Chain A
Amino acid sequence: MRTLLLLLCSCLLLFDHLQAQNRTITGKITDNNGRPVPGASVTIKSTRRGTSSGPDGVFSIPVPPNSNTLVISAVGWTSKEVEIGDQTSITVTLTAKENTLSEVVVTSLGIARDKRSLGYATQQLKADQIADKGQVNLVSAMEGKVAGVNITGASGGAGASVNINIRGITSFTRSNQPLFVVDGIPISNDVDRTNGGPNGTLGDQQPANRALDLDLNNIESINILKGPAAAVLYGSRAAAGAIIITTKKGGVNGKSEIVASTAYSQQYMEGLPQVQNAYGQGSAGIYNPASGNSWGPKFGSTPSVANGLLVNGQPVPFKAYPNNINDFFQTGTISDNSLIINGGDAKQNFTLSGGYLTQNGILPNTSLKRANVKFAGNTIFRNKIKVGGVVSFFNTLQTGILDGNGASSLAVVEGLARSIDLTSTRVLGTYQNPDGTNNWPIPGQDNPYYDAYMNPLKSNLYRIIGNVNLGYDLFPWLNINYRLGIDAYTDRRKQIFAISSARVPAGQDLESDIYRSELNGDLIITAHKNDFLTKDLNFSALLGQNINQRRFQVVTVEADALAFSGFYNTSVGSNFAIGSAESTTLQRLLGYYGQLSFAWRGYLYLEATARADESSTLSTSKNTFFYPSVNAGFVFTDAFHINSGILSYGKLRANISKVGTDAPPYLLANTYQKSTYGNNVANFSFPDGAIAGFTLNPTIAPNVLSPEFVTSYEIGTNLGFWNNRATLDATYYNTVSTSQIFSVGIPPSTGFTTKTVNAGKMTNKGVELTLSVEPVVTHNFRWDIIGNFTRNVNKVVSIFPGITRFSIPGSAFIGSIPSIQVGQPYGVIIGGLIPRDSTTGARLINPGTGVYATTIANQVLANPNPDYILGISNTVRYKSLSLGFTFNFIKGGQVLSFTAASYKSRGAWVETGKDRDKPWTLPGEILSNGKYTQNNIQIPAQTYWQTLGGLQSEFNVYDATVLRLQDVTLGYDLPASIIKSWKINYVRISVFANNVFHIAPNTFIDPEINTQGAGNIRGLDLQGTPNARTIGGSLKVSF
């Protein structure tokens, strides 16, 4: 309603009459790349009359009839005089001064700013740093290219989610993914999960993070606002930083353009261990067709009754299938096409774009199809009123198959017995019995093809992201803008478990409709005045108001105990009570914010912001919360006129900021919910026939709930050397998270297991370095190197009095629980460790069995946090050829690998095929009569490897250090001499590869895997989809 009124008011303004004496010139100031230059001074030559360009680089100025020249100047740019002639609209392109580091970046609320004026760290990625690299997911495309950011993909599965954390994890339980903002509108990057049957999300089908819906071809730039100071105007929503995405627009350079691109690539499974091919199916050297392991006889053994290879006098077919694991994976394909039509000029412009991507995954029956259409238009009329809007429509279809340990095809295939032939069961009919049921001979498992083709999850998402924008220059120095944006999607999912599937033997047809929407309205009033109060002092102020509403709904109909196979509609089910559910949430927030910025002589910048939020989710007495920030930037090279041959630019910056965050909805009251008992081994759920049952929610409502706060201290410097041939951006930060909202464990004998509280403290300290060097620049040859270094040290300082540990909300296997533990970094995995001799550190052996003693529970099993991350991007250009490649080095961190465990315990790993006939001894000591002696108990190879292959054993925790050639792109621009005759702007041909190779010195698996995908649970490889290598090429033509 409020928005409507605003629109009405603005319409009234259309009837405003202009002064006749002066003509008004409007224009836009851009850099060489067409990006706006904000805050540039525009004066009429020989007068003192002037104005300055707004955040979008646009200005308007009344010009007396006798004046004909405008002087455009901005700090860091070469001044320019422009003859007006009889134009009313002009575009002015400024050239950056050589010895300044000037870059226009998009900051909070979509405001373009000169980077030198900022008192906090941001980093920008441009289109060519992310596009044409074979990436499907925007977040993956950023890996290795931004300092302070930690990105880990779930897997190489089609559409699998990718986790991103900026400057560590700052909240115990809330999402720690940054806020994604597209063209000024916050959008959802949530991961909506559908339980993979009784395993919960531990074995689901790796759904997407919703930023996946965005088309990389259509992205102009990505700005990463790293700390709370940078993102503070977004308020609560950006406590974990913000990713500001600007899509392509029309009117750049004042000309129309059509860009068409097509890309095709292939994907290959990458990263599974080497296998042995000497021993086949069975146990203890005896063939057993019902065994999933390769502890049977050696290939070539003489068949005998004793070794199980002679049955009824007939030898059993028994040979190695060396490629049986690799053969299950297929060559994936990605086809990516896009068309962008831009037209107009600085005053009136439009863009229409469309994209279509299809991906067939590396696993059978996995795919992603993504279509998007966008239309945007902007206009300025009466020289004062800016109207703009954009609407994007997305349709994303994903088909995934079950993942993870236990009754998924991957759990069967990863470590598959060496004598099982999979190729013969690849097509319909061959993975089934004649009655359609699963034909796999091993109990508790599915034929992997049966599982892949019969138990998929399909997701069909329709999404709209759009905004309208209305701006009015009330005075030359005062602008009022309203922006209303919405992101809404419906994801209709269908998950099938065929009858006889190992996970849900009775069969299941699950229909789940997920709806999510976010509405944002921002009223922003900006004022800008040069020579404010005194000469050389520029001043700007911003006052804003935000309304935010988020809705989420998931309605699920779960039809269990299917009557027959082959037809999947809920009508085939006979029980609808177990998983059918409805859940709706609504939360609202009102924010009021302001910002004051001062710039003194273009080298000293001071800024203060404040925001107050009112949230629907907190206790009424605590639901209004205020948080301020201040930041300062000082370009000391300009202040002290330093411009030596070496140091050409130097800036110091510092900030202190605080951000508050509200709670998830509905925590304030004690409630009842539908009753269920038990877990995956035995369970009961109401209704009991026609009788309903309710139970108290096991979480006690808080006495009072107040917001979470993150306080951040940041200092940094930007240095330029040798005329900025080398630049360094260095930041140190220290953030303190307090008053965390979470459910703390209370004695279950209270009748409840948790209570919602505000408590706890966590710190993140870190260093970010970005070093850019141009070692060689000649007329034809240019080499750019950008190195990004990230180090973040997280520490959980306190949780709650008396509580030293609790598990991160989400699914977990008992025995390896991702946890928050006092004194440890966030997310350590808690499990059992083998007791040790305290003096020598040797592990203790059970003298009765020769294997390790029973583990001691509740120890830190693995720490998924890396020590540091180093990404190095190179771009080498020679004439029209360019070669880009990015290395990413992750040092430290640990992964608990069920894949490694499986390869060991099932006797598939190449090492398990060695010296099988010899006795083995586990390294360790035996404790008897208080004395430790070296273990000398001999055990068979099978026992040895199965001991080391215990799923949650410390032996399957690996150092995740890995060096990866992240991507390589070779591009070629067709010479202008050729294409000019075709009336074509440019033609670019690229070939690319990503995940080219990796070296992980301390493990035989690819440790950069995170089966649980985007979220707070990290460091688990639960026998999920492995990574993929992509190789392809693209063609881009601009008309």
Chain B
Amino acid sequence: MKRMLILLLLAGMVLGSCKKYLAVNTSPNTPTTVPPSVLLPTTEIGIAFANSNDLDRATSAIMQQIAGVANQTQGYDVYNFSGAFDNQWNSELYGGSVNNCVAMINLDSATSPAYSGIAKLEMAYAFSILTDIWGDVPYSQAGQGNKYIYPRFDKVQDIYQGNPSLGITSLFDLVNSGLADLAKTSTLKPKTDDLVYGGDLTKWTRVGNTLLLKFAIMLTNVNPTMAKSVITSVLSGNNYINSNSLDFEVPFGTATGNQNALYNFNYINRPGDQMLSSRFLALEQSLNDTLRLAKFFTKPNGVFTGFNNGSNAPAPPQATRSQYGSYLIAPVANPTQLGAAPIRLLTNFQVNFILAEAALILGTPGDPNAYYQAGIQASMQKIGMAQSDINAYFIANPNVVTLTGTTQQKLQQIITQKYIAFTGNGIEVFDDYRRTGYPILALPLNPGGDDPTVIPTRLPYTNGELSTNPNAPNPRPLVDVKLWWAK
């Protein structure tokens, strides 16, 4: 009997409830929901990091502002892009920026339209980088995880102009939708988590309108009518970035891990990889613009030392090389805060050059020359040149600071000045170059890659996307295939 009792006891113990015992699979390490206030900083840093990291190095080398002397940048200099840009596509743009913007947009629309609005503007900016660099890219189905596991590649023209039959909202309408959200009442509002404007939504509205200008000017070759109407409309609204103090620039810090990528790469992790291009040096010297150049690049021992793009010659000793200078590595007001320079995404000088070009080419309101000069002034002020030096430059170089000659010559002046002002933002100058053909560049020495005879007109799709997405173009277009909006 006793034995039976023991058996029964045992049976009872073994068959006891186990449901709770096994219910331990909720991660204590990673949350399933987070407030939007921790997503916004991620996306702001994301688009700025994407703008200033490897894509910037490749486009700045293609645009011959920097020259590669070692490792990847040296390859980019001669158009060897094999195996590159997966990190940018995967983890800076679609992952990091786009996916977290989608998460913010998908939040309760009643409580957080402020976040949704900002997210739509950021997402439009991220997609513009993607389509401007790579052409046709996943857009309308991108960043939505399981919903579209093999996102379709939308055409550049559909991304810019929309295509209702395919359910594609244009970048312009995406921005307009964001602007509409910003106008709504929002229970949750960003504060310090908005690294750029500290939660000032009126400034975000200016970002939206400025994005419309940036997108519109891309259409000068292919849809000038639309470009003109958008720009005219923004001008009449007069609510865009029209002062350096309103610039859309993402701040960084001095602490390790918080530095901007330009400083972190060029001064901390890869100080020997790239330096000033001797071609850019020659351009700046020809324009007597070395005061400004000294803000963009260092001048060791009082001398600029450049390196010819694609050269096989030994690079000069590291200590003598001109590298990214104070404007790109530290805030202008605090030149000792190394690594803390903001990454400038949309600027007053950019707006002025856009408006100068639009007035010149499209006939939008305003005087091209006035906008042109305002752009140069804004750039020189922004980099911290003394007003007296700026005035002296204007007086000494009237040919440079005044639009002269044919429309094409004037356009060349505008884009060349925009090119100089945007030093450190290779993506913007690469866009303008392919759209206008300015500034005039020659092939580097020893070019290679897909087509050594032309300066690339796009970058190759990444291996990661090509190998996983059956909707990706196969074979990929070579880098000499022009984009829809290109000249």
Contact = CB atoms under 8 A, between A and B. Distances in A.
A679 B87 contact: yes
A666 B256 contact: no
Interface in A668-698: 668-673, 675, 677-686, 688-698
B199 interface: no
B236 interface: no
Nearest to B102: A751
A547 B22 CA distance: 10
Interface residues of B, number: 91
B256 A750 contact: no
Interface string A120-162: 0000000000000000000000000000000000000000000
Interface of A: 2, 5-6, 9, 12-13, 16, 443, 472, 474-475, 480, 505-506, 523, 525, 545, 547, 560-561, 574-575, 577-578, 582-588, 590, 614-617, 623, 665-666, 668-673, 675, 677-686, 688-698, 700, 745-753, 755, 802-803, 805, 814-815, 854, 857-858
B487 to A, nearest CB: 28
B38 A693 contact: yes
B462 to A, nearest CB: 8
B195 A692 contact: no
In the A-B complex, list the 5 residue pairs whose CB atoms are closest, starting with the nearest: A751-B99, A747-B469, A749-B138, A671-B30, A748-B90
Contacts of A697: 30
13 contacts: A9-B9, A474-B7, A617-B25, A666-B30, A671-B31, A671-B32, A684-B257, A695-B96, A696-B95, A747-B138, A747-B471, A749-B138, A751-B99
A693 B22 contact: no
A28 B327 CA distance: 86
Contacts of A587: 24-25
A747 to B, nearest CB: 4
B151 interface: yes
Contact of A6 (B13, B41, B273): B13
Given A665-B25, A681-B269, 9 more contacts: A13-B2, A575-B255, A590-B21, A617-B25, A671-B32, A677-B46, A689-B255, A693-B39, A805-B467
A232 B258 CA distance: 51
B439 interface: no
Contact of B29 (A583, A615, A675, A678): A583
A747 B95 CA distance: 11
A584 B28 contact: yes
Contact of B261 (A12, A678, A747): A678
Contact of B21 (A588, A677, A755, A802): A588
A447 B186 CA distance: 59
Interface stretch (B141-149, B293-301, B412-420): B141-149
A751 B469 CA distance: 13
A683 B257 contact: yes
Interface in B143-163: 143-146, 148-151
B92 interface: yes
Contact of B148 (A560, A665, A750): A750
A688 B145 contact: no
A561 B259 CA distance: 13
A474 B269 contact: no
B82 A857 contact: yes
B349 interface: no
B265 interface: yes
B313 interface: no
Interface string B78-100: 00101100110111101110111
B306 to A, nearest CB: 21
Contacts of A696: 95, 99-100, 103
Given A747-B138, A748-B94, A802 B468 contact: yes
B249 interface: no
A952 B92 CA distance: 27
B340 to A, nearest CB: 10
Contact of B30 (A590, A672, A688, A748): A672
Contacts of B463: 857-858
A424 B181 CA distance: 70
A614 B29 contact: no
B257 A691 contact: no
B268 to A, nearest CB: 8
B464 interface: yes
Contacts of B269: 680-682
A943 to B, nearest CB: 12
A992 to B, nearest CB: 47
Contacts of B28: 584
Nearest to B146: A700
A857 B23 CA distance: 45
B31 A474 contact: no
Interface string B1-41: 01100110110011010100111111111111110001101
B168 interface: no
A691 B255 CA distance: 13
A691 B99 contact: no
Given A666-B27, A698-B91, A747 B22 contact: no
B94 A682 contact: no
B116 to A, nearest CB: 16
Given A668-B25, A682-B261, A748-B468, A694 B6 contact: no
A708 B54 CA distance: 39
Contacts of B87: 678-679
